[in-house]
Amino acid sequence: MLKIGAGEDWDSVVERSVTMGLSGIEALSAIPGTAGATPVQNVGAYGQEIASTLTELEAYDMKEKRFVVLKNADCGFAYRYSIFKSTENRRYIITSITLKLSRIAPQPPFYDSLQKYLDEHNITYFTPQVIRDAVIAIRKVKLPNPVLTPNTGSFFKNPIIEEWLLNELRKTYDDIPSYTMADGRFKVPAGWLIEHADLKGYAAHGMRVYDKNALVLINESASSYKDLEAFREEIINKVRDQFRITLEQEPELL
């Protein structure tokens, strides 16, 4: 078990766990933010999510005016979802999280884009450090440096759709990627939808869809949230009109 203070830098936590030879969060490398924020939207990437390793968290309950311990099952985790951003939004101040990690080496098959990178680089020996290094390398290519290029990061959730809709879409788009969820529905990459709606590189309202990753929106000259909001709605409307799928914004607005 690894207990982590909520204010700890998340990537530093991942780095330390990997150095200790522990696996379970190595694919969550290079994600900005603090450890305490990871349960809020059930942070995930490259086939891992925080719900898979979090056993419990400590928090201050603003309603009950006391410190409490919430177990994994209490958090209502789902894809990019928890009670902390929905039914109990702003009720809890998370003070620490406890993760159950493993000393067993990561095993293939890995998430598609991660597996592709490993195959292309002839990597066949897998350790937490190897996976962390691969994820960081992928992110450096796919995500712009925010210091040099102001951007939103990954802005849209990957939508989850019913099987009947996926089958309908495959009649026109036979190469549409999908991932089976535990409940029998299918996750479709939002970036693929945006790209195939001919929006990759599209610019308006001072914003632009990043040409290396359609999930990322670049600020070229936008001066307010209204510019981002208008650009977001254009993308959502175009994707909905073409695919009958409504994209949802991933970052939470305060």
Q: What is the DSSP letter of 27?
A: G
Q: What is the pLDDT of residue 51?
A: 97
Q: Based on the domain organization, do 10 and 115 belong to the same domain?
A: yes
Residue whose C-alpha is closest to residue 251's, from 146, 140, 144, 154: 154
Tens of pLDDT, residue by residue over 4-61, are 999 999 999 999 999 999 999 999 999 989 999 999 999 999 999 999 999 999 999 9
> Which one from 154, 178, 185, 208 is the annotated catalytic residue?
154
Q: Based on the domain organization, do 175 and 58 belong to the same domain?
A: no
- Amino acid identity at 81: Y
Q: Based on the domain organization, do 5 and 129 belong to the same domain?
A: yes
> Which one from 52, 80, 168, 234 is the annotated catalytic residue?
80
Residue whose C-alpha is closest to residue 160's, from 183, 179, 186: 186
Residue whose C-alpha is closest to residue 194's, from 144, 147, 247, 150: 247
Residue 253 covered by a domain = no
Among 80, 114, 142, residue at a domain's last position: 142
Q: Based on the domain organization, do 215 and 93 belong to the same domain?
A: no
Among 142, 169, 200, residue at a domain's last position: 142
The count of structural domains within the chain is 2
Domain with 206, as residue range(s), is 151-243
Model confidence, pTM: 0.83
Q: Based on the domain organization, do 132 and 193 belong to the same domain?
A: no
86 is catalytic: no
Helices (H), the chain: 10-19, 112-120, 128-142, 163-170, 190-196, 225-243
Can you give the CATH number for the domain in which 234 is found?
3.90.78.10
Rounded to an integer, the average pLDDT of 196-224 is: 96
Q: What is the pLDDT of residue 254?
A: 67
Residue 199 covered by a domain = yes
Q: Based on the domain organization, do 43 and 96 belong to the same domain?
A: yes
Q: What is the pLDDT of residue 52?
A: 97
Q: What is the pLDDT of residue 145?
A: 84
Contacts of the segment 44-48: beta carbons below 8 A, 24+ positions apart: 44/79, 44/80, 45/135, 46/110, 46/111, 46/113, 46/114, 46/135, 46/138, 47/110, 47/111, 47/114, 48/24
Tens of pLDDT, residue by residue over 138-173, are 999 888 888 889 999 889 999 999 999 999 999 999
Tens of pLDDT, residue by residue over 183-207, are 999 999 999 999 999 999 999 999 9
Q: Based on the domain organization, do 5 and 62 belong to the same domain?
A: yes
Residue 102 covered by a domain = yes
250 is catalytic: yes
Neighbouring residues of 162: CB distance < 8 A, sequence distance ≥ 6: 185, 186
Q: Give the SS3 label for residue 18.
A: helix
Q: Based on the domain organization, do 41 and 167 belong to the same domain?
A: no
Among 99, 118, 142, residue at a domain's last position: 142
Backbone angles phi, psi at 33, to 5 degrees: 120, -175
168 is catalytic: no
Residue whose pair of structure tokens reads 């994707």 in the numeric block: 239
